[in-house]
Amino acid sequence: MPRKPKRSEDIRNLIKKNSLNFIIGLIVVISAIGSGIGLITYQLISRNNKPVIQTKKNTTPPLKIYTVNEGDSLWTIAETNYGSGYNAIDIIKANKLQDPNNLIKGQKLLIPIVTPLFPTRGEINGDENNQTNQVTSNQEVYLVQPGDYYWKIAEMMYGDGNLMNKIMEANNITDPNYINPGMILKIPR
């Protein structure tokens, strides 16, 4: 049993001898308090910082449906809706059309929301005195997409892959392997 100090000198000696123990004890107590405060703070922060799930407002414009009329082609439908016949490919893709040349009067087509491509509507012959808002070329054009080949394009445009040579000749192409996405091909009619 520790003895009781009798004098103030004894108290000082006792503190000197046990000061290291006192300091270590004080550090342990401060650390325990700090850890407790840190844990409480962490729990409060994590409780208040739960991810907020925001629902995205539907900013997409409503889809447009087009009803096929007598004499319509995908080219003319694309021109009517986009100002560019080149967008016919977007209509084909959106509707997963197997035979794009076989449109039926009354058929409903989804008109996708896409960026219009090169304008094909309006005067293209350069005669300012004879403007008609009609394209005066008797050829259509086709924008080559990834995965296209001449047979496939001829099937889409003519319904007969054997007519691929007609497309190749109109574009001065001799190698059937020469085709790249983004190429613009003349499609003679």
Domains observed in the chain: 60-115 (3.10.350.10), 135-189 (3.10.350.10)
pLDDT string in tens for the chain (189-residue length): 555 556 667 767 766 777 777 677 778 778 777 776 777 766 766 666 555 555 555 555 567 899 999 888 888 898 888 888 888 888 988 898 888 878 889 999 999 988 887 777 654 444 444 444 444 445 578 888 888 999 998 888 888 888 899 999 999 999 988 998 888 888 887
pTM of the model: 0.38
Q: Report pLDDT for 66.
A: 92
Q: Report the candidate in 157, 149, 26, 134 with the shortest Cα–Cα distance to residue 79.
A: 134
Report the largest interatomic distance among the alpha carbons of the chain, rounded to a whole angstrom. Answer: 124
What phi and psi values does residue 105 have, to the nearest 5 degrees? -55, 130
